[in-house]
Amino acid sequence: MKILLLGKTGQVGFELHRTLSPLGTIFAPSQEELDLSSPDAFASFLDQTRPDLIANAAAYTAVDAAEENREDARRLNAQLPEQLAAYCKSHGAFLVHYSSDYVYPGHGNDPWQETSETGPLSVYGQTKLEGDQAIAKSGCEHYIFRTSWVYSARGNNFMKTMLRLAQSKTELNIVADQIGAPTPARLIAQITTLAIHSNLPGGLYHLAPQGATSWHGFAQAIFRLAKAQGETLAMGPENAHPIPTSDYPTPAERPLNSRMALGKLEDAMSIKLPDWRSQLEQTLSEYLV
């Protein structure tokens, strides 16, 4: 099987490269090798490589910058998935695509279902939704995995930022009214590969760990576990102070409720997804080694 992996240098792409390798020959072009912003260049690349499976981990993820750079965000988050879906439909290939909790309106306290009404609050969320809709409309065979709060031992993410700040800061104010599930890229790649190997029926699924927390709760857990693993920090979890989103304004509005129901994926794969705390401990251990 020929596999095209897009976004290989990102958090999810790096992990996918490792987990998908046993399934076939992987083509994983860098940004220098393939300009994803050019539809013509990308169409030519697809014609040359003719992949059987495409894993699309490429995206415009700068949520605040997307408010100004709308066309760049739309190309990567909406038009590229549409182009991938058209190729897969016409060539009988399979598409794996990653979406976001930001497609939901973010109100209330109940977990979002795959059938819940969408209502993005930002350009990023809107363009991710447009990509989802284009894939579903194409009729190609696909998985769309909606996930949340992605982090890993590599790249730039909340876990690493908190650890860096805690080296010198003695106190931090952290948003406490946005609720979601911190999701390691490793888990996303593992479940993706298992889904492909086990012939999970195509469609839209939520993919995240069990449980939920706030950014404040996530930060406290990071500090607590890091100290337990022998890391020297200038502050502890008790020095992380909760603040409302209104005290930390950003160009793009964030959803307050990013809880996602996981039952559809768990039932279809006959698995129980792990708790976010155990996943943090594993990811933190990987990073601190």
Pairing of strands 213-214, 179-180: antiparallel
CA separation for the pair 99, 148 (Å, rounded)? 9
At residue 264, what is the residue type? K
Q: Tokens representing 277?
A: 């705390």
pLDDT by residue (tens digit) across 253-284?
Answer: 999 999 999 999 999 999 999 999 999 999 99
Strand pairing partners for 15? none
Phi-psi region of 249 (alpha: psi -120 to 50; beta: other; left: phi over 0): beta
Q: Tokens representing 191?
A: 């479940």
Whether residue 32 has pLDDT greater than 90: no
Residue that the structure tokens 């497609």 belong to: 103
Can you list the domains of the chain with their CATH numbers? Answer: 2-156+181-209 (3.40.50.720)
At residue 212, what is the residue type? A
Q: Write down the pLDDT at residue 255.
A: 97
Helix (H) / strand (E) element for 98: namely: strand 94-100
Whether residue 33 has pLDDT greater than 90: no
Average pLDDT over all residues of the chain:
96
Do residues 148 and 183 touch, judged by C-beta distance below 8 A?
Answer: yes
Which three-class secondary structure state does DSSP give residue 253? coil
pLDDT by residue (tens digit) across 191-218?
Answer: 999 999 999 999 999 999 999 999 999 9
Write out the catalytic residue numbers.
124
**What does the pLDDT average to over 149-162?**
96
Q: Write down the pLDDT at residue 184.
A: 98
Q: Write down the pLDDT at residue 2.
A: 96
Q: Write down the pLDDT at residue 162.
A: 97
Q: Write down the pLDDT at residue 30.
A: 87
Range 131-156 burial, b when 16+ CB lie within 10 A, else e: bbbbbeebebbbbbbbbbbbbbbbee
Whether residue 289 has pLDDT greater than 90: no
pLDDT by residue (tens digit) across 93-115?
Answer: 999 999 999 999 999 999 999 99
- Counting residues of the chain whose pLDDT is more than 70, the rounded percentage is 100
- Counting residues of the chain whose pLDDT is more than 90, the rounded percentage is 97
CA separation for the pair 168, 2 (Å, rounded)? 47
pLDDT by residue (tens digit) across 34-65?
Answer: 889 899 999 999 999 999 999 999 999 999 99
Do residues 138 and 91 touch, judged by C-beta distance below 8 A?
Answer: no
Q: Write down the pLDDT at residue 166.
A: 96
Q: Tokens representing 257?
A: 């409720």
> Pick from 112, 62, 88, 21: which is nearest to 251 by CA?
62
